[in-house]
Amino acid sequence: YKLVNDASPDNVVTLTRLWLADELPGNCESKVLGVALRSLKRDTSLKFVLAYSDPAVGHLGIIYQATNWLYTGLSFATPLYDIGDGTLHHSRSLAHQLGSHSIRYLTLQGINAKAVPQSAKHRYIYFLDDLWRSRLGVPVLPYPKKEREMNGNN
């Protein structure tokens, strides 16, 4: 939410997963995303939506590009945390569940926690309220594109 001036956590939602089977007809992703965004615009007081794509696994956010989201560059590479339960946890989840995401604090609580480095993600924003677009506090950048292999032939 800090990407948008004068925004609060109540103004934004993060799209954390979008997956549809490859066997579905073309453009299903954009149709499903469109339905979800129209519903959020109509039925909530949210002002914008954030989404991330992971370049470490080859994702550029093509669906967000195709549906006219704004690209704002790479996110900060924040670690996830391994507390020995077989799940990697986000720092906010740990702080909410355990009181802190500090390794020192968790160790003092008898939890053997390790930070697991993550890569930066491509970051996209979609404004549900067009009046909020002018509050964007970071530059809009060109969409990332797949790098072409250089084999001597252009």
User: Quick one: what percent of the chain has pLDDT higher than 70?
Assistant: 95
> Which residue in this structure is represented by tokens 């084999």?
151
pTM given for the model: 0.80
pLDDT of residue 150 exceeding 50, the answer is no
Q: Return the top range by mean pLDDT from 6-10, 91-95, 143-147.
A: 6-10
- What band does 148 get if pLDDT is binned at 50, 70 and 90? low
For residue 147, the model assigns a pLDDT of 74
- The answer to whether 63 and 33 have CB atoms below 8 angstroms apart is yes
The answer on pLDDT for 149 being more than 60 is: no
Sign of the Cα pseudo-torsion (74, 147, 33, 24, in order): negative
What percent of the chain lies above the pLDDT cut of 90? 77
The pLDDT value recorded for residue 56 is: 87
For the segment 79-94, the average pLDDT, to the nearest whole number, is 90
